[in-house]
A = this chain, B = another copy of it.
């Protein structure tokens, strides 16, 4: 086979690559090669899959995958002839394996002739600036930063090494982004916060100049069409490792703690302080000026109206019903106070009888 490059990676090669990352053992044939990752139910021969949730255990017997990632405790259930990577955290291991099998395609270094770079911007030779991208005066890019087509980088913006700014992202002047950021198309970083003083009565609103900025830590991912407003006076701050999904709104002066994950369509009103390792479900809403303690979990669609001091899972959701029964039950909701009074009256009457 001399001279013929083999595709994919053997389990031994994968284990070697992840040696310093997470503890790993190979069970079965360590020369088993995999070229892609797949789900238990749909993986094909030549692919590697994972089993994290015990309830999917039955699929282990029927999967067509060539190898599987699972915990050492489950090694006895391996079908004969199937190779495995053994680890205490199969899903985490899977994430690393998918990355090895699918190295992200980096753009070639260089500034596209159809890009515009204003005076005083600092762009290392290792960076990519795509067609139609605009880099404002005084912006500073770290090594290997990619600014994709038509992205807009305002004056004096700073972006850390290895960050990828996808097509059409807009970053307002003066915002600072850490290293290894991934910012998806349509995201807007640093637009003015929503601050106005009422003239009162039939008058209008006077804009309060938004003089703060946005400061984003390292290893942050920001989804498509998400908006993060600049601070009114102080900065809006996104901590290291925060992951933001699509269509999220983060108001001015918010602080999001490290490694918090925020699902799509979430809204966080101004000046809220979200602790580290908080998880906000999709379309959850946080009112302004609230403080959410670390390791809190908010269910999807839930509106948070007061600060949360104690970690745990919180929910605020009207349960789905057939429309007919909803019509009846929802109408009664407005009479709940009255029902409570009637209940109290009955209880008092009964007491009198006793």
Contacts and interface: CB of A to CB of B under 8 A. Distances in A.
A16 interface: no
Contacts of A125: none
Contacts of A199: 89, 92
A242 to B, nearest CB: 9
B337 A346 contact: no
A173 to B, nearest CB: 8
Contact of A259 (B136, B185, B204, B261): B204
A121 to B, nearest CB: 12
B185 A233 contact: no
A241 B204 CA distance: 6
Contact of A233 (B38, B225, B251, B332): B38
A91 interface: yes
Contacts of A104: 209
B168 A170 contact: yes
A217 to B, nearest CB: 11
Contact of A318 (B206, B234, B277, B303): B303
Grouping DSSP codes into helix (H, G, I), strand (E, B) and loop, the A interface class, with mixed when no group exceeds half, is: loop
Interface string A336-352: 11011011001101100
Report how many copies the assembly holds. 3
A202 interface: yes
A17 B249 CA distance: 36
Interface residues of A, number: 131
A221 B223 CA distance: 22
Nearest to A345: B347
Interface string A155-189: 00000000000111010100000000010111010
Given A152-B168, A205-B259, A326-B315, A186 B188 contact: yes
A280 to B, nearest CB: 12
Interface string A219-237: 1010111110100011000
A116 B148 CA distance: 13
A245 B194 contact: yes
A223 B330 contact: no
B211 A98 contact: yes
Contacts of A301: 285, 303
A96 B206 contact: yes
A283 interface: yes
Contacts of A196: 95, 243, 261
Contact of A185 (B172, B313, B328): B172
A306 B149 CA distance: 40
A82 to B, nearest CB: 19
Given A98-B208, A227-B247, A269 B264 contact: yes
Instruction: Name, among A223, A264, A287, A349, the residue most crowded by chain B CB atoms within 10 Å (CB to CB).
Output: A264
A112 interface: yes
A265 interface: yes
- CB-based closest 10 A-B pairs: A170-B185, A95-B197, A116-B131, A152-B167, A188-B224, A204-B241, A191-B224, A313-B323, A316-B320, A301-B303
